[in-house]
A and B are shown apart, each in its own frame.
Chain A
Amino acid sequence: MISNRYHARITRRETHSPRSLLAIILAVILIIVFSWIGTEIVLALLGLRALLVAPVDMFTSAVNVVAEPTGAVAVVGIVVAVVGLILVVAAVSPGRRARHVLVTERAATVVDNEVIASALARHAAYAANVDPDSTTVSVSRRHAVVHLTPTSGVPVDRYEVADVAAKQLESYGLRRPVLARVQIDERGRVGA
């Protein structure tokens, strides 16, 4: 296939977050801070009154931060450090999206987890003989959890449902296999 190397790149990009929103927010904050510092410098050079803090005071207060009240500085410092840590983690973590890759020939295919869940729910509800509205499925990277609320008085065959779910998942041709798990509510629902 001529297009396979494009497909590899595309699927990788489509299943991971670009982190654009966070980067744009940070860039905007930086622009605001830089513009403010720049304005303060201009005002100081013209000998006018500072908007908030004059550049000289910025420098001296940053240097003398250890002389400030311990509690306040410690709390603010720790909060700032935690925010920093979160940003570092966001920068280096993969940032996977809730999507799976299908093995297809002609094109690169990505599917939202909720589409897999809703298809699975339909078949699970049919196999369990319960109302589709009493079936919820959540799909993650490795697992699909089928949660059923049976109709009162109608027993649900757990193995049948598990079997159908496994077969369905297999038929989708997901690149990363997903394991099905079936949970059945102990209490049924009347007339559902």
Chain B
Amino acid sequence: MNNTNRALNRLLIFFCGLLLLVVGAGAAAGVLVPAFRDWWKGATTGATVQVSTWLRQTPLGNTGVSWIMPAILLLLLIAVIVLIAFITRQGHGHTGVAVYERSSETGTTIIDSAVPEHAIQDALSRRPEFVTSHVSTYQVRRTPVLKVSVTCRRGVSPKDAATIIEDKLRALDELLGRQLPALIQISGGFRANLTKSTRLQ
């Protein structure tokens, strides 16, 4: 429901994995496969010379050091900032507005997301089928979507649970005069296992 960028998550995992795979396999092959070792030695001798020439050819003023090092430092700093932004970007997506309608000439109608949340939660809290219920509103592709998550008592039919919640949602539709897209999440969980099982059929 939240707007975590999942493709980005997978991309990061993929490239980290690929890097480790290549480095690890390369190191193992370097010591185990003689042909690869010879090639590696030849290639790295050239590379070492190349790198030291670069370092000599790129002086930073007359300090005696190359500007490549500070440049790498800057790149590392940027990478760290990007990664921190990546971490803080996870999750999110809650919204405080359920309906925003600039319908009439006289003004705009805004329904706070607390209205449907409290209405549904209040209706569900009286039902014996559920141990707990929680309603929240997320923004999915610029549209508010209700998320109704309930923890069922042991043995409650998921269909019955879904039907109960759908009835409440339909009642809410009547109240608001429009349909909000909704997700029902029915879970068992640890608390459900501790409570006594249902006596409903």
| Chain A residues packing against B (C-beta within 8 Å) | 2-3, 6-7, 9-11, 13-14, 16, 18-20, 22-24, 26-28, 30-31, 34-35, 37-38, 41-42, 44-45, 55, 59-60, 63-66, 68, 70, 73-74, 76-92, 102, 104-112, 114-119, 121-122, 132, 168, 171-173
Let me know if B185 and A14 touch, CB within 8 A.
yes
Let me know if B181 and A86 touch, CB within 8 A.
no
Residues of chain B within 8 A (CB-CB) of A119 are: 155-158
Residues of chain A within 8 A (CB-CB) of B181 are: 2-3, 6-7, 10, 107-108
Let me know if B154 and A118 touch, CB within 8 A.
yes
Residues of chain A within 8 A (CB-CB) of B70 are: 41, 45
Residues of chain B within 8 A (CB-CB) of A115 are: 152, 156, 158, 161, 186-188, 192
Q: Which residue of B lies closest to A87 (CB)?
A: B17
Residues of chain B within 8 A (CB-CB) of A117 are: 188
Smallest distance from the beta carbon of A182 to chain B beta carbons, Å? 18
Let me know if B79 and A34 touch, CB within 8 A.
yes
Let me know if B69 and A68 touch, CB within 8 A.
no
In the bound assembly, the distance between CA atoms of A147 and B21 in angstroms comes to 42
Tell me, yes or no, whether B100 is within 8 Å of chain A by CB.
Answer: no
A-B pairs with the 3 shortest C-beta distances? A87-B17, A80-B24, A84-B20
Residues of chain A within 8 A (CB-CB) of B194 are: none
Please report the total number of B residues contacting A with Cβ < 8 Å: 83
Let me know if A108 and B24 touch, CB within 8 A.
no
* 6 pairs from A and B in contact (CB 8 Å cutoff): A16-B6, A19-B10, A81-B21, A90-B17, A107-B184, A110-B185
In the bound assembly, the distance between CA atoms of A55 and B159 in angstroms comes to 62
Smallest distance from the beta carbon of B39 to chain A beta carbons, Å? 10
Residues of chain B within 8 A (CB-CB) of A20 are: 4, 9, 90-91
Q: Which residue of B lies closest to A92 (CB)?
A: B14
Let me know if B9 and A118 touch, CB within 8 A.
no
Residues of chain B within 8 A (CB-CB) of A109 are: 158, 162, 183-186
Q: Which residue of B lies closest to A42 (CB)?
A: B73
Tell me, yes or no, whether B110 is within 8 Å of chain A by CB.
Answer: no
Let me know if B13 and A23 touch, CB within 8 A.
yes
Smallest distance from the beta carbon of A164 to chain B beta carbons, Å? 13
Tell me, yes or no, whether B179 is within 8 Å of chain A by CB.
Answer: yes
Residues of chain A within 8 A (CB-CB) of B51 are: 59
Tell me, yes or no, whether B165 is within 8 Å of chain A by CB.
Answer: yes
Known pairs A92-B10, A102-B162, A115-B187; A83 contacts B20 (CB<8 A): yes
In the bound assembly, the distance between CA atoms of A112 and B161 in angstroms comes to 12
Let me know if A108 and B65 touch, CB within 8 A.
no
In the bound assembly, the distance between CA atoms of A116 and B186 in angstroms comes to 10
Q: Mark B135-158, 1 if CB is under 8 A from A, else 0.
A: 000001101011010001011111
Tell me, yes or no, whether B111 is within 8 Å of chain A by CB.
Answer: no
Smallest distance from the beta carbon of A122 to chain B beta carbons, Å? 4
